[in-house]
């Protein structure tokens, strides 16, 4: 018997583990619902709201093949015991996946056990390198993976399914009772993913390079594929190859080439966590590890609730809390404010922010958090001014007023200049003073004679070779 263990690969198209599991016509599809995983560093049931959509559609597609998803509720060790009890000679099929430490440790246990019995079959899921890692040749390896042939659709199941496990349909009735209902995320599922890709290539991408920075325009102009790629309702390889096949046929080639570059960066950032899993908790540059030794829970809570007194920043966080998504520049600004203006340790703020993102991808999120906190050593510190971003990205305060109704009648200029009298809360910090202090302290650390040496080591391990002078520019 073949068993496909689904994780971040909730699709039937270009799913190598599912396809290969199906080849002998007898296979079982199991999704592990581990509540400890969904409460581990940065995860939340907000994300599972999207995943649930993906599971529903995948189950529907599998039913056409005389198969279905079964749900195992518990941990990896419990699932392994169940497999050995019911299918002791089974072959296990999985797609490689980079994830938080909790999941990595669990999967290491599973892979080691079944590898010793020659019963594990692992497949590349996207462009990260899980073995024989070489930073110098990383881009070539990535391109080779991305350009390899797409996997065929899984075959029809000839096995009569009678598992002592709940089916997805049974599970879905129970999970609805605990999923959050106070926000409206993107719809998940393979059909929606391909629809978004099609509309992006056909026209939504026009102006992408410029519009992606605006929280207003980015809603439509960004691909909005990030949660689908994260949870695997579409494969990154499929997106990449579809893009390449059509990029020169459009009137917005420049925008699509910009998007193509970001598909490359997607895996580049995930690779950092794959290579050094400890980055989930420790700073990339060791001299920055204790940069912010103390935290202020009250300040952090006001920040994550969108109660900072800075309208544009608060509006971005409120939108994120309601929809599970905000564009990249605003993510950077939100994190920069927490790390520089509030001077809070990223290890405390990162998981709280991650919990809000439906597209939370640990490798990307943690890499970006560290970059926006000035602790990588290979990136120049960048302190976003929330007032400047307010003027630049929302000059007429349209976005602000859509999220903060109490400011509806206030002049945009007054909003940007924080001159709204009693119409809104007072700012929780002086952004000019706090930015100045943060900048001075960061650069005092970077001026240490040993800083550059350690930064070079970080670069050799994690730095992009996309631009040959990347390290030189950052020091």
The whole-angstrom distance between residue 343's C-alpha and the CA centroid of its chain comes to 24
Query: In this predicted structure, what is the pLDDT of residue 473?
Result: 36
Dihedral sign from CA coordinates of 331, 337, 340, 344: negative
Give the whole-number percent of the chain exceeding pLDDT 90. 87
Query: In this predicted structure, what is the pLDDT of residue 76?
Result: 95
- What one-character-per-residue DSSP string does 9-26 give? ---STT-HHHHHHTTTS-
d(CA 265, CA 466): 10
Q: Look at residue 114 and tell me whether its pLDDT is greater than 90.
A: yes
pLDDT band at 126 (very low <50, low <70, confident <90, very high): confident
d(CA 475, CA 465): 16
d(CA 285, CA 452): 10
Give yes or no for a contact between 46 and 225, defined as CB atoms under 8 angstroms apart. no
Mean pLDDT in residue range 162-185: 90
Which tokens hold the place of 163? 């598992």
Beta carbons within 8 Å of 104's beta carbon, 6+ residues apart? 98, 277
CB neighbours (10 Å) of residue 90? 17
Query: In this predicted structure, what is the pLDDT of residue 469?
Result: 38
d(CA 438, CA 341): 7
SS3 of residue 456 by DSSP: helix
Range with the poorest average pLDDT among 27-36, 51-60, 179-188, 332-341: 179-188
Mean pLDDT in residue range 360-384: 95
pLDDT band at 211 (very low <50, low <70, confident <90, very high): very high
Q: Look at residue 338 and tell me whether its pLDDT is greater than 60.
A: yes
- What one-character-per-residue DSSP string does 369-411 give? HHHHTT-SSSS------HHHHHHHH-TT-HHHHHH-GGGTTS-
pLDDT tens figures, 436-457: 999 999 999 999 999 999 999 9
Query: In this predicted structure, what is the pLDDT of residue 423?
Result: 84
pLDDT band at 465 (very low <50, low <70, confident <90, very high): confident
pLDDT band at 466 (very low <50, low <70, confident <90, very high): low
pLDDT band at 33 (very low <50, low <70, confident <90, very high): very high
- Beta strand pairing status for 27-33 and 2-6? parallel
Mean pLDDT in residue range 407-415: 95
Residue-range domains of the chain with CATH: 2-132+166-175 (3.40.50.620), 190-273 (1.25.40.80), 279-474 (1.10.579.10)
Mean pLDDT in residue range 341-350: 98
pLDDT band at 474 (very low <50, low <70, confident <90, very high): very low
Mean pLDDT in residue range 109-127: 92
Beta carbons within 8 Å of 121's beta carbon, 6+ residues apart? 17, 20, 21, 91, 92, 93, 94
Give the whole-number percent of the chain exceeding pLDDT 70. 98
The rounded mean pLDDT for the chain is 93
pLDDT tens figures, 231-251: 999 999 999 999 999 999 888
Give yes or no for a contact between 161 and 203, defined as CB atoms under 8 angstroms apart. no
Question: Whose CA is closest to 55, among 187, 168, 196, 180?
Answer: 168
The whole-angstrom distance between residue 114's C-alpha and the CA centroid of its chain comes to 29
Tell me which of 245 and 463 has the higher pLDDT. Answer: 245
Query: In this predicted structure, what is the pLDDT of residue 118?
Result: 94
pLDDT tens figures, 83-100: 999 999 999 999 998 899
The rounded radius of gyration (Å) of the Cα atoms in the chain is 23
């Amino acid at each position: 018997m073949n068993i496909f263990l689904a994780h971040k690969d909730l699709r039937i198209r270009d799913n190598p583990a599912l396809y290969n599991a199906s080849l002998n016509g007898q296979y079982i599809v199991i999704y592990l619902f581990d509540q400890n995983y969904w409460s581990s560093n940065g995860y939340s049931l907000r994300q599972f709201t999207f995943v649930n959509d993906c599971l529903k559609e995948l189950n529907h597609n599998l039913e056409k093949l005389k198969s279905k998803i079964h749900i195992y509720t518990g941990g990896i060790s419990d699932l392994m015991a169940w497999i050995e009890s019911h299918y002791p000679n089974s072959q296990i099929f999985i797609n490689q996946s980079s994830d938080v430490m909790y999941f990595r440790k669990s999967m290491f246990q599973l892979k080691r056990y079944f590898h010793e019995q020659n019963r594990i079959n692992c497949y590349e899921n996207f462009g990260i390198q899980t073995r024989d890692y070489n930073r110098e040749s990383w881009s070539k390896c990535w391109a080779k993976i991305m350009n390899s042939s797409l996997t065929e659709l899984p075959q029809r199941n000839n096995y009569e399914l009678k598992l002592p496990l709940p089916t997805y349909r049974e599970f879905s009735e129970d999970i609805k009772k605990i999923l959050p209902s106070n926000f409206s995320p993107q719809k998940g599922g393979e059909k929606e993913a391909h629809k978004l890709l099609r509309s992006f290539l056909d026209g939504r991408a026009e102006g992408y390079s410029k519009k992606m920075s605006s929280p207003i325009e980015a809603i439509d102009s960004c691909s909005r594929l990030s949660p689908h790629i994260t949870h695997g309702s579409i494969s990154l390889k499929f997106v990449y190859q579809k893009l390449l096949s059509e990029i020169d046929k459009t009137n917005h080639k420049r925008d699509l080439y910009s998007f193509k570059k970001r598909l490359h960066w997607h895996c580049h950032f995930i690779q950092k966590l794959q290579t050094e899993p400890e980055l989930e908790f420790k700073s990339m540059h060791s001299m920055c590890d204790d940069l912010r030794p103390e935290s202020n829970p009250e300040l952090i809570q006001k920040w994550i609730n969108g109660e900072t007194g800075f309208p544009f920043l608060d509006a971005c966080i409120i939108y994120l809390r309601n929809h599970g998504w905000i564009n990249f520049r605003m993510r950077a600004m939100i994190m920069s404010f927490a790390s520089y203006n509030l001077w809070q340790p990223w290890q405390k703020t990162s998981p709280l922010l991650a919990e809000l993102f439906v597209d939370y991808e640990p490798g990307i999120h943690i890499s970006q958090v560290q970059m926006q906190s000035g602790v990588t050593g290979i990136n120049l510190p960048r302190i976003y001014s929330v007032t400047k971003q307010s003027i630049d990205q929302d000059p007429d305060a349209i976005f602000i007023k859509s999220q903060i109704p109490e400011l509806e009648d206030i002049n945009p200029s007054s909003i940007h200049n924080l001159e709204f009298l009693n119409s809104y809360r007072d700012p929780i910090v002086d952004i000019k003073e706090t930015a100045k202090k943060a900048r001075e302290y960061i650069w005092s650390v970077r001026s240490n004679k040993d800083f550059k040496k350690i930064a070079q080591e970080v670069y050799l391990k994690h730095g992009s070779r996309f631009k040959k002078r990347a390290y030189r520019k950052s020091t």
